[in-house]
Structure 1
Amino acid sequence: MAESRVFSKNRALGYVSNHIPLNVRYIQRRKENLIVTSVGKSFHTYGCSHFTLLTVSPSHTDDITCLSGDAYHVYTAADKNIYAWRRGNELKHTYTGHNAPVHIILPFGPNILSVDEDSIVKVWDIRTEEELLELTFNNNIFKITCMIHPLACINKILLASEQGTLQLWNINTSKKIYDFNGWQSAVTAIEQAPALYVVAVGLANGKIKLFNFQIDEVLFELVQSWGIVTSISFRTDDNPIMVTGTTQGHIIFWDLEKKKVVNELINAHFKSIAGLKFLSNEPLIVTNSEDNSLKLWDCRENKDPTLLRIREGHSEPLTCLKFYGNDGHNILTSGEDSSLRICSTIAETFNKSLGKASFDRKASKKKNSHVKDNLIMPRITEFSFETTREKDWDNIAAQHLGLGVVTTWSYDKLKMGEHKLLHDRFKKNYNANSTALTMTQCGNFVIIGFNTGHIDRYNIQSGILRATYGDKKYGAHEGAVKGIMVDSLNQTVVSAGHDCYVKFWSFKSKLNIPKQVVKLIKPIEWLKTHRESSLIALALEDFSIILMDLDSRRVVRHFIGHEAQLKDATFSPDARWLVSSSMDCTIRTWDIPSGKMIDIFQVPEACISLTFSPTGQYLATAHVENYGVYLWSNKTLFSHVSLKAIQPNAPVPSVTLPGTLSEQTDNNEEITTDNQEQEDDIYVSPEQLSEDLITMSLLANSRWQNLLNIDIVKKRNKPKDPPKAPEAAPFFLPTIPSLEFKFDLSTSDKIEDDSKIIIPQGFSNLTVFGRQLQATINSNDYTVPIDRLKSLGPSSIDIEIQSLSLDMTLSTTLMLQFMKMIKYMMETYQNFELSQAYLAVFLKSHGTIIQNDEILWKYLEELQQVQTKTWSILQEKLFFNLSVVQHLKKL
């Protein structure tokens, strides 16, 4: 599968729960309740003691539609298949056979029951995965919505329908036992009561029936004024308390003896209650909701329910995210739920919330839900922060959709600040909106741009207006201000407007006249900056991006390629790359020095915000209608990646978003596959660049430089005491003299079963190198002996060359082949320094023999001619480079 060149999927952060009801399992060995929640294609397992995330399941092929569990397995359904998991991440069984998506799973002893959307009930053997029984129902008559196993009944299940009727079945005999008339309203929840033969039935009209199915009689009825009953649970510690959930996120507590409401948790969740469950024999209730949260409540007697533990993420899709600090451990995120959150890349327990933006923080803390809802400010569309003075005062400024007010926040105190920044000129102008903002690197000022063209500078500590840029009446730009940045020394303010102008202002000047104005060809959408490199990225309405240099104030790059509205861009820490995203669902990486696109991939949902880790390890993205943060690993930190420019008409790879389980292992495989697919694109340097160039070897100097002085080195390193022989050696095996410890088994012969004496077939005192040289007589291939010498150390090379004269019958032949090998190295213009070092050792060791042998000294003349030719080429290149260097020194 095609992948991004530069980025590989890592994992998704910020997901806790969705609309699937939770499941609680008590594990005897751990002495702890485990809570299982669905997060799309995976499920999380939390320990109830500290809400610690224990395991994350592998990703399913489709979104999880329901889940359940018993003491041994967690059961999940994705589309038409059912899966059984051990330890939260180990797949043990798969059950296939449904023709429609499964929406109910019920463990039933050694079996599990499943119901699909066609109201077909199947019974499976857990161990053998065999289908034991199938029951078919007509959706027009009896569409199954709920199913339970009554505790007092053996082999029986109670089915509830959308039509409001109930049926009792014996799955052992596959016979219907009884038909209940029902209450003309869809059954949305059903739960076994502590009393035998009694169940609580929640209806879509808000009624809860305490129903004795043994005598087909309603014991009493309760009415929930909040509408549909989403879930029901009973206390099991001898307290007659029942709780029900609502679609508004409220939890209602009922006293079954008094038959009335005893308490209400208003806005326990921001969205519909998906599931709630009392822990066995404890006054604790755990709830989850589609608002992406999981909560544990203490419900003791004579005490209002209190929140004990919580795990939560954004309850609405993200709008903006940025890495906070220089270590890359925390990501600051904002969402459509008007909240700011801290998402940790290290552990989920480090996630924190800064709260929701409120028009009146004090009033919003009161227990008046209606007032609280009305005080929530519109969603945060953009924010800016600085870490310099985070412990002294507010260090985050945020702008809101459709508001001119800019709010301040404190990262250190994890709360919203007291200041709401808005100029007096906008007190009665309700159409004024803040469209751009930035904070100075010193952490003292925040500069705000508005849709009216005005630009104001505030002191964030006191909230006092300190300066206004441009005309006080008409503003700095004729249209909306789309971007603002300040250099790191607070000398220059750069503003970009929808009027196509980029204006450079003096930070402290009171003249309100720009120092310089640059007009672009198209209106500007937004501005991003990399302060350390003085680069400014500006998005234009024609979907292109230009780069400007703050020092020269000129356009230095123009990137064209996106086909829809640009949403965001971020610089890499070294300012070498610019990563951009747009509504065409592509994420592109641009190489700034070359001005070329080096990576592109397409995602299922458009990326609306992205940020690069300060360490360069991760790219974090936020996508349309997604609640989480998606991390992508930077491949270039871990492997070689080809950064060849991509052609505009090249196919765009489509990449799915990362799952909640870390995909680091898969990434390694994907990286390997990707490199194999791009093998043709990776530049591999040839062994010889040109015929008129001399190529050196890549060996370290210590491997060849001391060959001529090896006798001196050996004498210096000679031990003071002679080596002592070992007292007893079990056996002796010859070794190969090299840097790697290897046994020489090349001369060993096979021993016959009845042989008692080992007799070699042909005795020879040639070394491995000598035999390789002997083999070149017929092959004329000298690469093997050359590679052999390159693998040896100086002492071993000296021994191998000296040993060429050991065998008197072959000494002349081997020496001649050695000289031919040196000639081959010179003629190919490769390993030049090695050929000279090897030849010097050869002449030093065998000079006398060469003088007395006519064949050898005649061939030596040919070798000298080749060496002179090779040296003249190298000498010419050296002298040319030396002359160029001397000339440059004089300039």
Structure 2
Amino acid sequence: MAEENVARGSVLFTGYRSLGVYSNHIPHVVRYHKKHKEFYLVTSVGKSFLTYNVNKLGQVAVSNALPEPISCLAADRMLVFAAHSNLLKAFARNKEVVHTYQGHEAEIHLVQPFGDHVISVDTSNVLMIWDIKSEEEYLQLTFDKTNFAISAIMHPSTYLNKILLGSQQGSLQLWNIKSNKLLYTFQGWGSGVTVLQQAPAVDVVAIGLTCGKIIIHNIKFDETLMTFQQDWGPITSLSFRTDGHPILAAGSPLGHIGLWDLEEKKLMNQMREAHSTAIAGLTFVHGEPLLITNAADNAIRVWIFDGPGGQGRLLRFRMGHSAPPTFIRHHGADGKQILSAGQDGTLQSFSTVHDRYSKSLGHGSVDKAKSKKVGLRCLSLRLPPITLFASEEARQSDWDGIVACHQQSLSCTTWNYVKCTMGAHKLKPPDLKNSKTLEIYATASDITSCGNFTVIGLSNGSVDVYNIQSGIHRGHYGKEKAHGGPIRGVVVDGLNQVTITAGSDKLIKFWKFKTKELIQTTSLSVPPTAVLLHRESAMLAVALDDFTLNIFDIETRRLVRRFQGHNGRVNDMTFSPDGRWLLTASMDCTIKVWDLPSGCLIDCFLLDSAVVSLTLSPTGDFLATAHVDDLGIYLWSNKSLFSLISLRPLPADFEPTVVMLPGGADEMEVEETVVEVENTNEDIMEYESPEQLGEKLVTLSLLPESRWKNLLNLDIIKQRNKPKEPPKVPKSAPFFIPTLPGLVPRFASDAQGDTSQSKIVNLGVLEQKSAFFVQLEEALTRQNYSVPLKTIKEMGPSSVDTELRNLAPENGGSVEVMQSFLKMIQSMLDTKKDFEVAQAYLALFLKLHLKFISSEPILLEEINAVLPSLEETWLNLQTLFNQSLCVLNYMKSALL
């Protein structure tokens, strides 16, 4: 049993994709697709790389993941080369590994495609040249690290079979790789080489140095044409503009970009703080005034140079958190937007549909007016990172709809989702407005479902209410404080009737929202960690410091469920939209799904890193998770929406297996996982409901109402549907062949002459017994009425009426057959199956033959036998109906 559970992974969720991850410290690659006539951008995001079209920065492909993080990227016309550890792999169609090059003993850090070959250099200073198609080693060169440690590589344009190598010592070497000869050594400029870049002019190369110098050098004559000095540290990347403007762009470790005019030999412009971290790569798109930049701050930016002065302006970008997200929640009822607060201090919204719908709400600022003048880059004006927030879209078009608590900050900020900016108010208790102490700070917040009020809990035990539109303080709970310790959670029900607060003093308190009166206090065994309310079902989940979970019904204010099984602090919780499941994430790196109606654990899976926050979409289709020290938000598909899932309680000794993050498993691992899931699906047997659940339960038939509901009124229906005038004979066809009367015109055949037109009634047809009649006769002796019951259930209302009329002796029937019919009704009532059909057949039978039955002792005796079963069944149903109506009336009166 344990082995079967380990093999299956997660029953309910499967990895879909990641959000909010766009770039890391690896320089990007730009390649041109001749068939599409479009430029594509390739960026590394750990173990895989992403491909974007430069035109719209739309993501077009995600590669299969490698076993280890990518160390460098390169690309030619057909393939993308990615190195990890000591292996180099070539990807086709931006996704699949088609070639693997093995031979390096150290980590590869430089890759250069070179015609039909690819060059790779590892950290032990070994250069290897590979034949791309055959994967064979063409040449291997080993350099002495003390004299020439390779730090840059380039193929000069028009230089056949030649490569230029730069070293950490500052010297350069030009090699002919076909003859394996060193052609020339450039002495260098006394500083290590970081970048080599081909200029649009032949024989000219731009060389970036660790001292910040940029050397424009002619390698044919070994002459330096010009030198620039950058004051921001080593040169991280270089690129020449190729649309007719002699401009060189240079990147720096501070995130600044310098633009150098090559004609006037001076600094033309600066793009300060283009990124918040070192510029990893920058590339001018060939023949266009577009500059693409990427950095380790998880951002890709495209700048356009179309204004006066040569200053680049931001054209389009893809930007995620530059530090790991700490709190995520779905925003809106459609489940297509995820709000995320990160350690970088920003609040962002990621779209699950397309990246173009994602947006950033920016940093929080201490003084909004001053920050507009100075700029949000001023660190002294920034607020601390957001620890948690609450959002509501009901009035977000009118005023702010998000309230956020900041790390060790007393003030809570409001944010406007529509305007994508921080709001106008900083919510702070009036008696603490002049206080500058850091000992009191906001710990919990919630917004009412109407979007008008917010409730904020503080570390000193106070709980305050504010109006979001005006920011006015509307009161607080308790005489002085609501709790005797820090507030661990506050929630408001869906009707603004009850406010629930949880404190570290081991108490949960229920308050009237409007009057602030205390309704009830519930004690806990240990302090709570966090609370979560599902407003539709009125279920309150409370995570405790002993890693257990308590579920309260806020209508009755009683404990209804208790779950235990986590081995670490519960970081976050989320309910399914229908309130049946509670999903919890813990520091033990597991995600568990608890079924509230049954009180059982139905799913559990283990992850490589702990989940710090999770949220299930309002539509129930995607689960989103944020992890420790991870910039991405990962989406998991809910398999129960599109496939058969057998939900069974997990045993107490269940050991979860590790599930890889979306995009975090290599191709082989994905294939094996699919096989395992398929094998487990074979073991899941589809549940087939029995014909009857219990002997005491009444079971209805599956017949449509038209088959039995109108049996008593069949004569009225026939009378109403009787035509007022006889049907007209359709016109003959427009040629000599006569037609037959009917709704559909048909040609008369030669056989018409043989058809008997006699008006004499054939009595032999009337004397023939029906199949139902014969089956009733046989059932009287066998005492098994399943066959005639099946036959009559397949008949329509008119056929049933005809069969029951023909049971009387005057229509060719007999008393014995009528007795057999009553016995069939008796068996239906005894087994309590097809209850409504039995009632309809019996009612019609009595309506047709009541006078005849009263004159026959045998039928009267049979009727008296049916009567007790009928009364007993109906009395049981009537009792259940009355009980249900009583409970319903009580619930209505309680709500009123």
Q: Tell me the TM-score normalised to structure 2 length.
A: 0.77
Q: 1: CA distance between counterparts of 2:677 and 2:352?
A: 27
Q: Report if aligned partners of 1:3, 1:674 keep a CA contact under 8 Å in 2.
A: no
Residue of 595, 600, 605 corresponding to 1:596: 600
Q: 1: CA distance between counterparts of 2:432 and 2:194?
A: 54
The answer to whether the aligner puts 1:174 opposite 2:166 as a matched pair is: no
Opposite residue 650 of structure 1, the aligned amino acid is: F
Query: What secondary structure does 1:229 align onto?
Result: coil
Cα shift at 1:104: 2.2
Partner of 2:831: 874
Q: Report if aligned partners of 1:167, 1:176 keep a CA contact under 8 Å in 2.
A: yes
Superposed CA deviations along residues 625-673 of structure 1, whole A, max 9, x for unmatched, are 122221111111111211111112112021111129999xx89994993
Q: 2: CA distance between counterparts of 1:163 and 1:187?
A: 7
Q: 2: CA distance between counterparts of 1:296 and 1:689?
A: 66
Superposed CA deviations along residues 117-158 of structure 1, whole A, max 9, x for unmatched, are 333322233334433222233445543322100114211111
Q: Report if aligned partners of 1:8, 1:667 keep a CA contact under 8 Å in 2.
A: no
The answer to whether the aligner puts 1:631 opposite 2:621 as a matched pair is: no
The 5 A counterparts of 1:358-373 are: 358-366=365-373, 372-373=378-379
The answer to whether the aligner puts 1:417 opposite 2:409 as a matched pair is: no
Residue of 648, 653, 657 corresponding to 2:657: 653
1:878/1:673 CA distance change after superposition, 3 Å: farther
Of stretches 44-53 and 480-489 in structure 1, the one that deviates more from structure 2 is: 44-53
Cα shift at 1:701: 11
Partner of 1:484: 490
Residue of 555, 562, 567 corresponding to 1:563: 567
Query: What secondary structure does 1:599 align onto?
Result: strand
The 5 A counterparts of 1:26-105 are: 26-89=32-95, 91-105=97-111
The answer to whether the aligner puts 1:188 opposite 2:194 as a matched pair is: yes
Q: 2: CA distance between counterparts of 1:594 and 1:885?
A: 27
Partner of 1:729: none
Partner of 1:348: 355
Q: 2: CA distance between counterparts of 1:261 and 1:676?
A: 65
Cα shift at 1:887: 4.5
Opposite residue 831 of structure 2, the aligned amino acid is: L
Partner of 2:806: none
Partner of 1:332: 339
Superposed CA deviations along residues 280-318 of structure 1, whole A, max 9, x for unmatched, are 233321101111111111235524221111111122111
Residue of 143, 158, 171 corresponding to 2:164: 158
Opposite residue 82 of structure 2, the aligned amino acid is: T
1:402/1:883 CA distance change after superposition, 3 Å: same
Of stretches 346-355 and 418-427 in structure 1, the one that deviates more from structure 2 is: 418-427
Q: 2: CA distance between counterparts of 1:391 and 1:838?
A: 59
Q: Tell me the TM-score normalised to structure 1 length.
A: 0.78
Cα shift at 1:251: 1.0
Q: Report if aligned partners of 1:320, 1:334 keep a CA contact under 8 Å in 2.
A: yes
Cα shift at 1:366: 3.6
Q: Report if aligned partners of 1:210, 1:218 keep a CA contact under 8 Å in 2.
A: yes
Cα shift at 1:826: 10
1:410/1:660 CA distance change after superposition, 3 Å: farther
1:648/1:681 CA distance change after superposition, 3 Å: farther
Q: Report if aligned partners of 1:191, 1:199 keep a CA contact under 8 Å in 2.
A: yes
Alpha-carbon RMSD: 4.3
Q: Report if aligned partners of 1:694, 1:832 keep a CA contact under 8 Å in 2.
A: no
Q: 1: CA distance between counterparts of 2:492 and 2:12?
A: 31
1:7/1:890 CA distance change after superposition, 3 Å: closer
Superposed CA deviations along residues 827-871 of structure 1, whole A, max 9, x for unmatched, are 9x99995488899x9xx99xxxxxxxxxxxxxxxxx99x999988
The 5 A counterparts of 1:190-209 are: 190-209=196-215
Q: 1: CA distance between counterparts of 2:693 and 2:403?
A: 57
The 5 A counterparts of 1:251-650 are: 251-300=257-306, 302-366=309-373, 372-423=378-429, 424-426=431-433, 427-472=435-480, 475-509=481-515, 514-650=518-654
Residue of 239, 255, 259 corresponding to 2:245: 239
1:647/1:832 CA distance change after superposition, 3 Å: farther
Q: Report if aligned partners of 2:826, 2:869 keep a CA contact under 8 Å in 1.
A: no
Superposed CA deviations along residues 552-583 of structure 1, whole A, max 9, x for unmatched, are 11111111011111110011111011001011
Gaps spanning 5+ residues in structure 1: where? 706-717, 727-801, 806-817, 846-862
1:890/1:237 CA distance change after superposition, 3 Å: closer
Query: What secondary structure does 1:349 align onto?
Result: helix
Q: Report if aligned partners of 1:11, 1:660 keep a CA contact under 8 Å in 2.
A: no
Opposite residue 136 of structure 1, the aligned amino acid is: T
Cα shift at 1:353: 1.2
Cα shift at 1:365: 3.1
Q: 2: CA distance between counterparts of 1:889 and 1:429?
A: 64
Cα shift at 1:263: 2.0
Opposite residue 581 of structure 1, the aligned amino acid is: A
Cα shift at 1:175: 2.2
Q: Report if aligned partners of 1:497, 1:523 keep a CA contact under 8 Å in 2.
A: yes
Opposite residue 358 of structure 2, the aligned amino acid is: N
Opposite residue 189 of structure 1, the aligned amino acid is: V
Opposite residue 628 of structure 1, the aligned amino acid is: G
Superposed CA deviations along residues 352-377 of structure 1, whole A, max 9, x for unmatched, are 111111112233334668x6222121
Cα shift at 1:530: 0.9
1:574/1:672 CA distance change after superposition, 3 Å: farther
Q: Report if aligned partners of 2:65, 2:666 keep a CA contact under 8 Å in 1.
A: no
Cα shift at 1:507: 1.8
1:179/1:597 CA distance change after superposition, 3 Å: same
Query: What secondary structure does 1:578 align onto?
Result: strand
Cα shift at 1:461: 1.2
Percent of pairs with identical residues = 43
Residue of 107, 115, 119 corresponding to 2:113: 107
1:642/1:391 CA distance change after superposition, 3 Å: same
Q: Report if aligned partners of 1:22, 1:35 keep a CA contact under 8 Å in 2.
A: yes
Q: 1: CA distance between counterparts of 2:468 and 2:666?
A: 39
Cα shift at 1:329: 1.3
Partner of 2:728: none
Of stretches 233-242 and 285-294 in structure 1, the one that deviates more from structure 2 is: 233-242
The 5 A counterparts of 1:798-809 are: none
The answer to whether the aligner puts 1:24 opposite 2:30 as a matched pair is: yes
Gaps spanning 5+ residues in structure 2: where? 1-6, 710-740, 750-767, 804-819, 833-867, 884-896
Opposite residue 550 of structure 1, the aligned amino acid is: I
Q: Report if aligned partners of 1:11, 1:662 keep a CA contact under 8 Å in 2.
A: no
Of stretches 141-150 and 631-640 in structure 1, the one that deviates more from structure 2 is: 141-150
